[in-house]
């Protein structure tokens, strides 16, 4: 892919439709985000721009930002009129791929931001499916699937993932999602309660697994209790009381063996 380095006017730069970050004007109203942006601006003012932004020319004479949105915002905060840029030539698919790879290389990019970026790419139809996308960015297909499935969770969880205190372990989020599917309205109280428990009690993956296993065993135990209480055994008229007791003792002993084999605890 051909490229050249130019110094471009900030006024000629526009956002890429494939950008995964939430860098709209409201982002600067957030105190923490503004502090980080001001920190980047101070660094650029002190040492200069170490890495030029990456753009591509558009038909209207402007330039679409492929990589470097935060650097552009920092330049705007510094009231600088021009910025060094690497101008790339490429197709829409090339640009999308570069944008995603650049986003993934940023340590601060959240799982939810990745999900939005992946969803945007697939909805554009430039990648046939998750498998093709995962190959292109050098990631496992399961990883891409877990990221995309975040957008299918209870909306209260999605909102939490974009906040300050959030759960980042994708396997834990998968376990929460699998605990109960969302209903027709897109909600799941079980998912949300489990998410809150993980966040507030600082669950590890192992602790979440143990918690879910315990819940599963408890549920199985209840089923066994009901089965025992509802057990209906009929004996013939000729069966003596001694034979009945012997038969019931054998059945009870066998049930205990089965319950023990299944690892079920009954109070």
The residues pairing with 133 across neighbouring beta strands, listed in sequence order, are none
Q: Where are the domains of the chain?
A: 1-91, 158-203, 215-262
**Per-residue pLDDT in tens (0 to 9) along the chain, 267 residues:** 567 899 999 999 998 776 655 434 344 445 567 788 889 999 999 999 989 999 999 989 999 998 888 899 999 999 999 999 999 988 877 877 787 777 666 656 788 888 888 888 888 787 888 998 888 888 899 999 999 999 999 999 999 988 766 789 999 999 999 999 999 999 999 999 999 999 999 999 999 999 998 876 655 554 444 444 545 566 666 677 777 777 777 777 777 776 666 655 555
Over the stretch 40-59, which tens digit does the pLDDT of each residue have? 999 999 999 989 999 999 98
Strand 63-67 relative to strand 53-57: parallel, antiparallel, unpaired? antiparallel
DSSP string across 11-48: GGEE--TT--S--SGGGGGSHHHHHHHHHHHHHHHHH-
CATH level 3 topology of 1-91: 3.90.1530
Q: What is the pLDDT of residue 241?
A: 77
In order of 24, 51, 261, 263, 267, the CA distances from 219 in angstroms are: 47, 57, 17, 13, 12
Q: What is the pLDDT of residue 232?
A: 57
Over the stretch 233-251, which tens digit does the pLDDT of each residue have? 666 666 777 777 777 777 7
Close Cβ partners of 246 (under 8 Å, ≥ 6 residues apart): none
Backbone angles phi, psi at 64, to 5 degrees: -95, 130
Token pair 């600082």: residue: 202
Q: How many helices (H) does the chain have, and how many strands (E)?
A: 11, 5
């Amino acid at each position: 892919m051909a490229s050249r380095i130019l110094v471009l006017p900030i006024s000629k730069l526009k956002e890429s439709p494939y950008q995964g970050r939430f860098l709209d004007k409201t982002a600067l109203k957030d105190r923490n985000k503004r502090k980080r942006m001001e920190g980047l601006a101070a660094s650029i003012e002190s040492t200069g721009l170490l890495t030029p932004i990456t753009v591509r020319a558009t038909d209207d004479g402007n330039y679409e930002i492929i990589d470097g949105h935060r650097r552009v915002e920092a330049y705007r905060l510094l009231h600088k009129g021009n910025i060094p840029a690497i101008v790339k030539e490429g197709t829409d698919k090339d640009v999308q791929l570069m944008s995603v790879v650049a986003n993934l290389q940023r340590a601060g990019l959240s799982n939810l931001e990745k999900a939005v970026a992946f969803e945007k790419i697939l909805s554009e139809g430039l990648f046939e499916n998750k498998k093709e996308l995962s190959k292109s960015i050098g990631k496992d297909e399961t990883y891409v699937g877990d990221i995309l499935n975040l957008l299918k969770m209870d909306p209260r969880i999605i909102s939490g993932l974009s906040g300050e205190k959030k759960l980042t372990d994708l396997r834990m989020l998968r376990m929460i999602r699998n605990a109960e599917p969302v209903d027709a309205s897109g909600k799941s109280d079980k998912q949300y309660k489990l998410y809150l428990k993980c966040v507030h009690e600082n669950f590890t993956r192992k602790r979440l697994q143990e918690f879910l296993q315990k819940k599963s065993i408890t549920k199985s135990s209840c089923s066994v209790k009901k089965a025992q209480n509802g057990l209906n055994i009929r004996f013939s008229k000729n069966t003596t009381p001694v034979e009945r007791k012997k038969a019931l003792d054998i059945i009870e002993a066998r049930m205990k063996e089965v319950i023990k084999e299944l690892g079920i605890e009954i109070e």
